[in-house]
Chain A
Amino acid sequence: MTKWLETHLPKMVLAPSFIAVLVFVYGFIAWTAWVSLTRSRLLPKYEIEGFIQYERLFASPRWDTAINNLFIFGALFIIIAMVLGLLLAILLDQKIRTEGMIRTIYLYPMALSMIVTGTAWKWILNPGLGIQATVRSWGFENFSFDWLVNPDFAIYTIVLAAVWQSSGFVMALFLAGLRSVDEEIIKAAQVDGIPTWRIYSAIIIPSMGPIFMSAFIVLAHLAIKSFDLVIALTGGGPGYATDLPATYMYAMAFSRGDIGQAASSAMIMMLVVFTIVVPYLYSELRAKND
């Protein structure tokens, strides 16, 4: 009996987590996929009708805006957060005193809910109160910073807040990467009199490929899932100028009573994430076999 337990217990204790994830995630995704192929509106229906929901989705100007926003937001957010994160990591890598405290402060935005920190951001971005009003009160009467209420620019305020939230996190990832570079190589380069910036650009950073990859994956999936940010800052407005796919889905499911549209938009988001996650899993698994 004990022998049997010792061989089978490891599998038995793994089973609950395994089954929970399997049913909870894939079972429910399958339900969503099914419903996305029906004529469901206010209530779910289960007769498959084909791709009509997807046709409606791609004909919808609001979905069009959400997808455009996702590309603008995603690209800017990922690039800016990575560049800033890398610069901050290099700064903290200079043997700075009180590094532990600084690191914690840089990570605070990530540890706090955007719904809550959005309070301050709404004040900062409000033309009548925050940056615009402050700079004008210094005598620059023509200074203008009204992105939050300008439909053409509101999406950039989402980028701003997202970068604020995540660059400390990217910094922490890169800092770990910088520290894992072989000290001997760096010392040898210093002995040869190579300037510090060349050591970074030619030796350290090129050896951090995998870290760039994981930072990219994490930021990309954060961008696609972004929901709190938009709800906290603009609520999708002005109009639906700052809608992202997640808020589109939310609006369809809960205020428009259109389950079919909600399900089909969710499936499109799934597909996009899958195309990012699958190469990542593949490269991780290959790394394991090396």
Chain B
Amino acid sequence: MLKIKDLAVNVGAKEILKGLNLNVNAGEIHAIMGPNGAGKSTLSHVLSGKSGYDVTGGSITYNEKDLLEMPAEIRAREGVFLAFQYPVEIAGVTNVYLLKAALNAIRKHKGLSEVDAMDFLTLVKSKTKALDMDEKFLYRAVNEGFSGGEKKRNEILQMAMLEPQLCILDETDSGLDIDALRIVADGVNALRSENRAFIMVTHYQRLLDYIKPDFVHVLADGKIIKSGGAELALELEEKGYGWLEQA
């Protein structure tokens, strides 16, 4: 599904990613771990099409297409979803309007008609309930005045509604208490399927207790320096990142 080859990315004059390679197939869950400043968030942002990054080398192929050539909204319509580390508060725009506008933009891209108003409401209400969110959230402004946990749940709600193929979770566990973490993890686990892949970017192993990855990669100094199975995360938890960086 996703092939990242020798990816090199600068922010201004600073090299952040220095030849990163990663292959992700449908149905897989990959965890990207690493120390602060290793380039984890840069990777998430570059995948989702955020501006402010210069790709100086390498390629990203997504479903046999050149991802880097697509504007952010086309990536989203093609099934790439970024769950933000810091979801943006948007005053005056209701959650329900954002969800409907986004769903219709994606449907239009796929050649489908706009979603029926009643069907949409039934769908969104069931997904909201599944995430243990009050329906009132739907009619509040996007993320405005939401707690950290509510914002992250809202990201998962959007993910559940838009049914992307490639889900990127950027530090989704940050700022979550244990109950919120469990709800978010349950939401993600419910979305696991053989057609869908996940990239979880995380500093801590905590999230991986709830969402078991198939692969764990260590990103340090702009490169993946070690890959392994779920057990690698436990090793990192125990030993930290130092022993790998020195090696």
A and B: interacting chains: no
Interface residues of A (CB under 8 A from B): none
Interface residues of B (CB under 8 A from A): none
